[in-house]
Amino acid sequence: MTGLLDNLLNGVALGSVYALIALGFVTIFKASGVLSFAHGSLLLLGGYLVAVLHDDLGFAGALALAVVVTALVAGALDRLVLQRVGTDSHAAHVQTIVTIGIDILLVTDLARRIGGDLLTLGDPWGDSVTDLGPVTVADSRIAAIVVSAVAIAGAFALFRFTPWGLSLRAAAEDAEAAALMGVRLTRVRAIAWCLAGGLAALAAVFLVAFPAPGLERTTGQIALKAFPAAILGGMASPVGALVGSMLIGLTEALVAGYQSDLHVLGEGFGDVAPYAVMVLVLLVRPTGLFAARGAARV
Amino acid sequence: MNVTHPRPRTTRTAVAAALAAVLLAGTGCSSKADGGSTGDGADGVKSGPGVTDKAIKLGALTDLTGPYATLGKSIVQAQQMWADETNAAGGICGRKVEIVVKDHGYDVQKAVTAYADISPDVVALPQVIGSPVVAALLDDIQRDKVLTFPQAWAASLLGKDAVQVLGTTYDLDMIAAVDFLTRTKKVAEGDTIGHVYFEGDYGANALEGSQWAARKAGLKVVGQKIKATDTDLSAQVSALRKAGVKAVLISAGPAQTASLAGVAASRGLRVPVVSSAPGYAPQLMKTPAAAALEAMVHVVSAAPAVSSDLPGVKKMVASYGKKYPGSPVDSGVLSGYNAAQLMGADLKKACEDGSLAREDVVKAHRSQKNADTGLGTPQDFTDVAAPASRSTYVLKPDRKAVGGVVNVEEAHQAPGVDEYLASRG
């Protein structure tokens, strides 16, 4: 029983961090129709900034600056590189490929800077833990759940209650009509990229905080695990991304936790489990769990 | 218009083709000239590729930009230090030693190209980083008879004349780890132990050793296979705790060892952890898991701690600190320097025997029954199929020590190692 609770808590914590990343994927996709493969490198950039800045600025200052800088870099990438390709739906495919190139460039440079080091981010939770009844959980995990919940609620409020959110939803519904109604598509999507970048930087902190040992050159690859979460949620649905992330986080934690009981499926099944879940969900609901009616298949 | 256009293009193509042909022929010629020249030097010592009257060229295929960049840098600097010291003392066989370093960034394709690039011009390779790299080059190395010391320790690399795994293999380390656990009464017959291991040669070979030793000791092994990108081992720790393990072995990278110890400690799973040598790096002492690592982890290694009292090691640490101030003195420095010294001994022996041709350097190497550099245990290179050493040290992380680690047990051979090697044939 303790084992199950342990695994569930692990899963929720992982899921809430994936949700930050998946929400970024979804926001970008909604605003620009681009599947951003550069998200992993933005996440690595955010984490790297916190790692190098926390000595001088303290953790909170470093985190704030990292979130802002990563957001601006993401926005600038969209504005200065991607938008040059065009803003119609056809250009989105080209832009998706361009993000792969951007990712390679960013990751290569960051990996060169990080080298073989294991960077700590100086977060205030350290390796402290809290006993919650029968289970022990790392404070960083509790913080991950709380902060993710707040950030996600904030993002949802942005979608729902701000003019930008309205423009975003209008643009996602029908870009051309929105543009005719006076929505400035270029600005809407640049802000969407900024939001996604900021969320990625935040996710980086929790991905590398205890129980993980620190930021490595490969940390960005973890962002790819949020891909199936975004896709099985329906790619254009923030709620779907949230549910998908929880599903993926829980699947991963449970499969790894019960690895020895799942011998039939072969060892290391935890790595492929998220994708297996994604394929299964898409078999039943080809447009994802929460796709808007009539949305394109993903 | 249409008629005139093709003409200049064809001319241009022809010129380009001719140029390419000339270039190709040129490189073909030059590599032949470099690689094929054998004969006696002025001093009567037979030479071969990489050897002239004045210089002996060695090669290093290393990783300075990939996942093992820290290790690569340590080894490159340590071996360069050895070359400088050797040259200051008059060189080897009256010739200066030169090391040609090529970075492959842990990319097998790049490593294959780099090998093709430098192999015609070097006599031996005292450094090749990366199990997949060594595996890809194994046949070429064997064909070219380039004596090679890989920085990889899987038993699958044994049995090739020109390739020498230095020290023990991963399986022997884990047999020693199980022996350490039972001997110090950390586990008893009937207990269950966990083994967290990387997929691939490294983990598979380590698991072979732990399973064999556990069977002999009446223990049960619960395996947890992970990948290099898994750096949060929470789920693995949950599973191990559920299995009721009394100790955990880990054959992975430093990041995984840190996560394992940190998570286990925080979850109240305070059991001894024994790591393979590549699973520890001094950088871990700066992570939040440092306290847990010091409290729970031991490392089994064929090499002593860099903080050990061996005079050879002390001298090396002092010179390294002077030559590269600010560079961490880690196990890579020790293993790189040790490899270079052993290579030096082989070259000296080959020189005494009258030939520095590649095959004769391999022959000289295979004649060393008790190669001792004063940097650890002596090694026996005469049996191609057996590990060069069967003795291991037990080390322990320590924040204050040089290299972040101290000796706990001096080198000795774990019981059962001979039997294991005999059973494996």
Model confidence over B294-306: pLDDT tens digits? 999 999 999 999 9
Of A13, A64, A27, A243, whose CA–CA distance to A156 is shortest?
Answer: A27
Looking at the structure of chain A, the number of domains it has is 1
Is pLDDT of B29 > 90?
no
Structural domain of B292: 170-301+394-424
Between CA B130 and CA B147 the distance in angstroms is: 16
Q: Are residues B346 and B321 in the same domain?
A: yes
Scan residues 70-89 of B and list those with Cβ closer than 8 Å to A. 70-73
- For residue A295, being part of any structural domain is answered with no
> What is the least distance, in Å, from the CA of A154 to any CA of chain B?
28
What's the pLDDT at B178? 97
- Write down the H helix ranges in B285-381: 290-296, 311-323, 331-352, 358-366
Interface test with B, best of A4, A5, A6 (most B CBs within 10 A): A6
Chain B neighbors of A6, CB-CB under 8 A: 238, 241, 267
Contact criterion met (CB below 8 Å) for A265 and A276: no
Between CA B336 and CA B334 the distance in angstroms is: 5
Between CA B376 and CA B331 the distance in angstroms is: 12
The owner of tokens 């010592």 is: B45
B65/A111 touch (CB, cutoff 8 Å), yes or no: yes
Band the pLDDT of B394: cuts 50, 70, 90: very high
Of A72, A101, A70, whose CA–CA distance to A85 is shortest?
Answer: A101
Tell me whether 0.85 is exceeded by the ipTM.
no
For B142-191, write each residue's pLDDT tens digit. 999 999 999 989 999 999 999 999 999 999 999 999 999 999 999 999 99
B287/A268 touch (CB, cutoff 8 Å), yes or no: no
Q: Are residues B141 and B219 in the same domain?
A: no
Whichever domain contains B415, its CATH number is 3.40.50.2300
For B108-135, write each residue's pLDDT tens digit. 999 999 999 999 999 999 999 988 899 9
Band the pLDDT of B12: cuts 50, 70, 90: low
The owner of tokens 């022929």 is: B25
Q: Which residue has the higher pLDDT, B78 or B231?
A: B78
Instruction: For chain A, give the longest Cα–Cα distance.
Output: 59
Reported as half-sphere exposure (CB side, CA atoms, 13 A), residue A140 has a value of 29
- For residue A268, being part of any structural domain is answered with no
Residue B262 has its nearest CB partner, among A116, A211, A258, at A211
SS3 content of chain B, % helix, strand, coil (to 5): 50, 20, 30
Q: Are residues B85 and B152 in the same domain?
A: yes
Band the pLDDT of A268: cuts 50, 70, 90: low
DSSP, residue by residue, B53-101 = SSEEEEEEEE-SSSTTHHHHHHHHHHHHHHHHHHHHTT-BTTBEEEEEE
Between CA B372 and CA B222 the distance in angstroms is: 38
What's the pLDDT at A263? 64
In DSSP terms, B395 is beta-bridged to B299, B407
- For residue B1, being part of any structural domain is answered with no
DSSP, residue by residue, B393-406 = EEEEE-TTSGGGEE
Between CA B424 and CA B169 the distance in angstroms is: 13
Residue of A nearest to B71 (CA): A116
Sequence-separated (6 or more) residues with CB below 8 Å from residue B20 = none
Contact criterion met (CB below 8 Å) for B219 and B187: yes
Neighbours of B13 (CB within 10 A): 11
Share of chain B above pLDDT 90, in %: 68
In DSSP terms, B129 is beta-bridged to B151
Contact criterion met (CB below 8 Å) for A288 and A235: yes
Residue B67 has its nearest CB partner, among A126, A217, A259, at A217
The pTM score is 0.79
What's the pLDDT at B65? 78
- For residue B270, being part of any structural domain is answered with yes
Is pLDDT of B37 > 50?
no
Contact criterion met (CB below 8 Å) for A118 and A214: yes
Between CA B257 and CA B267 the distance in angstroms is: 15
Band the pLDDT of B4: cuts 50, 70, 90: very low
Identify the helix (H) or strand (E) that includes residue B157: none
Interface test with B, best of A113, A210, A261 (most B CBs within 10 A): A210
What's the pLDDT at B30? 42
Q: Are residues B188 and B158 in the same domain?
A: no
Reported as half-sphere exposure (CB side, CA atoms, 13 A), residue B66 has a value of 18
What's the pLDDT at B39? 59
B258/A112 touch (CB, cutoff 8 Å), yes or no: no
* B129 touches A at CB < 8 Å: no
Between CA B210 and CA B207 the distance in angstroms is: 5
Least-confidence region, from A72-81, A186-195, A219-228, B399-408: A219-228
Band the pLDDT of A47: cuts 50, 70, 90: very high
**Mean pLDDT taken over chain B:** 88
What's the pLDDT at B2? 46
* B262 touches A at CB < 8 Å: yes
For A198-210, write each residue's pLDDT tens digit. 999 999 999 888 8
Between CA A20 and CA B60 the distance in angstroms is: 44
Q: Are residues B362 and B273 in the same domain?
A: no
Interface test with A, best of B227, B231, B257, B297 (most A CBs within 10 A): B231
In DSSP terms, B405 is beta-bridged to B397
Structural domain of A82: 17-220
Q: Are residues B164 and B174 in the same domain?
A: no
Q: Are residues B114 and B229 in the same domain?
A: no
In DSSP terms, B195 is beta-bridged to B223, B249
Q: Evaluate the omega torsion of the peptide bond into residue A238 and state whether it is cis, within 30 degrees of 0.
A: no
- For residue A287, being part of any structural domain is answered with no
Q: Are residues B290 and B208 in the same domain?
A: yes
- For residue A271, being part of any structural domain is answered with no
**Per-residue pLDDT averaged across B180-208, rounded?**
94
Distances (CA, A) of B21 to A254, B32, B113, B215, B327: 61, 16, 20, 63, 47
Q: Are residues B224 and B192 in the same domain?
A: yes
Between CA B125 and CA B38 the distance in angstroms is: 19
Of A7, A115, A31, A137, whose CA–CA distance to B63 is shortest?
Answer: A115
A268/B225 touch (CB, cutoff 8 Å), yes or no: yes
What's the pLDDT at B6? 46
Pairing of strands B147-151, B124-129: parallel
- For residue A9, being part of any structural domain is answered with no
Looking at the structure of chain B, the number of domains it has is 2
**Per-residue pLDDT averaged across A212-221, rounded?**
83
- Edge-first strand order for the sheet with B55-62 is B96-103, B55-62, B124-129, B147-151
Identify the helix (H) or strand (E) that includes residue B202: helix B201-217
**Per-residue pLDDT averaged across A147-175, rounded?**
90
Q: What are phi and psi of B349, to 5 degrees?
A: -60, -45
Between CA B100 and CA B125 the distance in angstroms is: 9
**Per-residue pLDDT averaged across A38-46, rounded?**
94
**Per-residue pLDDT averaged across B287-312, rounded?**
92
- For residue A207, being part of any structural domain is answered with yes
- For residue B345, being part of any structural domain is answered with yes
- For residue B286, being part of any structural domain is answered with yes
Q: Are residues B318 and B185 in the same domain?
A: no
Is pLDDT of B284 > 70?
yes
> What is the least distance, in Å, from the CA of B407 to any CA of chain A?
24
Identify the helix (H) or strand (E) that includes residue B47: strand B46-47
- For residue B375, being part of any structural domain is answered with yes
Contact criterion met (CB below 8 Å) for B382 and B363: no
Q: Are residues B319 and B271 in the same domain?
A: no
User: b/e map of B402-420 (b: 16 or more CB within 10 Å)?
Assistant: bbbbbbebebebbebbeeb
What's the pLDDT at B409? 94
Q: Is B265 helix (H, G, I), strand (E, B) or coil?
A: helix
Residue A261, judged by CB atoms within 10 A of its CB (0-12, 13-18, 19+), counts as: exposed
What's the pLDDT at A99? 93
Contact criterion met (CB below 8 Å) for B294 and B261: no
- For residue B243, being part of any structural domain is answered with yes
What's the pLDDT at A60? 93
**Per-residue pLDDT averaged across B48-73, rounded?**
89
What's the pLDDT at B15? 57
Between CA B130 and CA B228 the distance in angstroms is: 13
Three-state SS annotation for chain A: CHHHHHHHHHHHHHHHHHHHHHHHHHHHHHHHCCCCCCHHHHHHHHHHHHHHHHHHHHHHHHHHHHHHHHHHHHHHHHHHHHHHHCCCHHHHHHHHHHHHHHHHHHHHHHHHHHCCCCECCCCCCCCCEEEECCEEEEHHHHHHHHHHHHHHHHHHHHHHHCHHHHHHHHHHHCHHHHHHCCCCHHHHHHHHHHHHHHHHHHHHHHHHCCCCCCECCCHHHHHHHHHHHHHHHCCCCHHHHHHHHHHHHHHHHHHHHCHHHHHHHCCCHHHHHHHHHHHHHHHHCCCCCCCCCCCCCC
Between CA B92 and CA B95 the distance in angstroms is: 5
Chain A neighbors of B275, CB-CB under 8 A: none
Q: Are residues B174 and B219 in the same domain?
A: yes
